[in-house]
Amino acid sequence: MSRAVVAVAGVLGLAAYIFIYATGVAHPPIRSDGFSYYVYLPSWFIFHDLSLHEVARDCCGGEFPEYTAIIRWPGTRRWVNAHPIGVAIMQAPFFVPAHLLTKWSNLSPDGFSFYYQHGAGLAGLFWTVAGLVALRRLLLRQFSDGVAAATLAVVTFATSLFHYGTYDSSYSHVYSFFLFTAFMAQTDTWYRGPRRATPWLLGITAGLIVLTRHPNALFLLVFPLYGVTGGVGAGHLIQEFRRRVPELLKIALAATLVVAPQLLIYFLATGRPLISSYGSLGFNFAAPRLYDVLFSVQKGVFFWAPILLVGVAGLIASRGMARSFALAGGLFLIVNTYLIASWWDWQFGGSFGHRGFVDSYPLLALGVATVFDRMARHTVWMVAASLIVFAAVLVSTVQMFQYWYHIIPMSDTTWEQYRAVFMRLQ
């Protein structure tokens, strides 16, 4: 059944994607943040340029538009992109055929014409489905097929995931969703016993996580803290690390090699390998908007996807493999929430729900599965769970359509606005 849920998600995702762009609901996929995540590809492959100078000259009269968050670095005047290269690397397998098709069909080989746009857009959908495939496999290590199916349905359709896999698929979030899931699965595999490929995969995935969104480096804590639920777990872990030093070195080597090109790009642009790529934009750690990012009607993650509260509760009450991720996952969720709440634009601009939390869905999925697993043991509770799933999916889907058609504002939604249009599609 869980396999069918993933297949349905993929088919519906493709149908929604075609609908969005065939009917003009959204502008072409490479837009807003999606532009800056993607812009490396035309720069590297078409203009053979690491500096972004040539692509700026070709696409934009020499200066990137303000919305792109690509700034000229003070002192060197070279371009620095606030968004790192990870998404572009994962889009590259779609860029190459798009470029070849563009040349073949005589479209403009500028990196932004029809095939490039949909290569980038469909890459996001591909990694969303890949993330669901990986999440299904992870869930089946502990939970039944039915529980995995219900969890996948909820994570896909009762949160912002489907929106970010289709409408805003060029943003980084679904890429992180896949990478987090893969990293959790590889971490669990590593602790089950030595395998030749696992350290390399862990290193590559860790590197890509950092390259996709730098603050997500915090998520790498799930590896060293896997299975730690108290002092005993920590002691056992230290012994495990001492015993497997060569594997740890392989992980570190692979991660370093993956991250190195980004450091080189920063160095060439600024003279320093480590910088704050957002320039003057920054955090307000003294006054985090914690309530707002969690519960507000404006962008509260639990307001727009209340099913995720079940995930938090489930993570606390988890057992088995899910429990092994609980401490590190919980730490990550707390610190990540604090970071998001402290960011100068705590709403993250226009977004459906709070997009800053989409990356964390694999962790919360384990919590949701834990709760569904308990409920599945009693018929009455199972019926209740089914109703919860149905209601959560229905409300979230209607709200997603409302967002697509601008019935719900892109940001700063008020309670009056929300109440006035609740479950209305016109």
Partner 1 sequence: MKRRAAAAIVLVMVVAVLAWLRDPAWLEGMESGFGRSERARDGIPYRWTAGRSSFFVAADLKAIEIPFRLPMQPGDWPAVVTISIDDRPADRVVLSEDGWETRRILLPPPGSRRLRRIDIHVDRTRPGNRGVMVGAIVREH
Please report how close the Cβ of residue 172 comes to partner 1 at its closest, in angstroms. 22
Near partner 1 by CB under 8 A: residue from 25, 26, 50, 107: 107
- What is the pattern of x (binds partner 1, CB under 8 A) and - over residues 320-359? ----------------------------------------
97 vs 282, which CB is nearer to partner 1?
Answer: 97
Adjacent-strand bridge partners of 343: 283
Closest CA to 357 of 370, 376, 343: 343
Q: Please tell me the count of residues contacting partner 1 according to CB under 8 A.
A: 20
Binding window for partner 1 (CB under 8 A); candidates: 101-109, 286-294, 305-313, 322-330: 101-109
Q: How far is the CB of 54 from partner 1 (least distance, A)?
A: 12
Is there binding between residue 106 and partner 1 (CB under 8 A)?
yes
Provide the minimum distance between the beta carbon of 131 and partner 1 in the complex, in angstroms, as a whole number.
Answer: 27
Q: Does residue 23 interact with partner 1 by CB under 8 A?
A: no
Supply the minimum distance, in Å, between the C-beta of residue 359 and partner 1: 29
Near partner 1 by CB under 8 A: residue from 18, 105, 194, 249: 105
Question: Residue 12's beta-bridge partner residues?
Answer: none
Asked if residue 109 binds partner 1 (CB under 8 A), the reply is yes
Q: By CB under 8 A, is residue 114 in contact with partner 1? A: yes
Nearer to partner 1, 102 or 277 (CB): 102
Of 104 and 285, nearer to partner 1 (C-beta) is: 104
Work out which of 112, 162, 175, 403 binds partner 1, going by CB under 8 A: 112
In whole angstroms, how close is the CB of 67 to partner 1 at the nearest point?
A: 9
Binding mask 129-148 toward partner 1 (x if CB under 8 A, else -) reads --------------------
3-state secondary structure the chain: CHHHHHHHHHHHHHHHHHHHHHCCCCCCCCCCHHHHHHCHHHHHHHCCCCCCHHHHHHHHCCCCCHHHCEEECCCCCCEEECCCCHHHHHHHHHHHHHHHHHHHHCCCCCCCCHHHHHHHHHHHHHHHHHHHHHHHHHHHCCCCHHHHHHHHHHHHHCCCHHHHHHCCCCCCHHHHHHHHHHHHHHHHHHHHCCCCCHHHHHHHHHHHHHHHCHHHHHHHHHCCCCCCCCHHHHHHHHHHHHHCHHHHHHHHHHHHHHHHHHHHHHHHHHCCCCCCCCCCCCECCCCCCHHHHHHCCCCCHHHHCCHHHHHHHHHHCCCHHHHHHHHHHHHHHHHHHHHHHHECCCCCCCCCCCHHHHHHHHHHHHHHHHHHHHHCCCHHHHHHHHHHHHHHHHHHHHHHHHHHCCCCCCCCCCHHHHHHHCCCCC
Subset of residues 44 to 63 that bind partner 1, contact rule: CB under 8 A: 57-63
Nearer to partner 1, 105 or 276 (CB): 105
Judged by CB under 8 A, which of 54, 110, 145, 292 binds partner 1? 110
Q: Report how far residue 93's alpha carbon sits from residue 75's, in angstroms, rounded to the nearest whole number.
A: 35
Q: Is 66 a residue that touches partner 1 (CB under 8 A)? A: yes
113 binds partner 1 (CB under 8 A): yes
Q: Which is nearer to partner 1, 101 or 140 (CB)?
A: 101
Binding mask 243-282 for partner 1 (x = CB under 8 A): ----------------------------------------
Which spans of this chain sit near partner 1 (rule: CB under 8 A)?
57-63, 65-66, 101, 104-110, 112-114
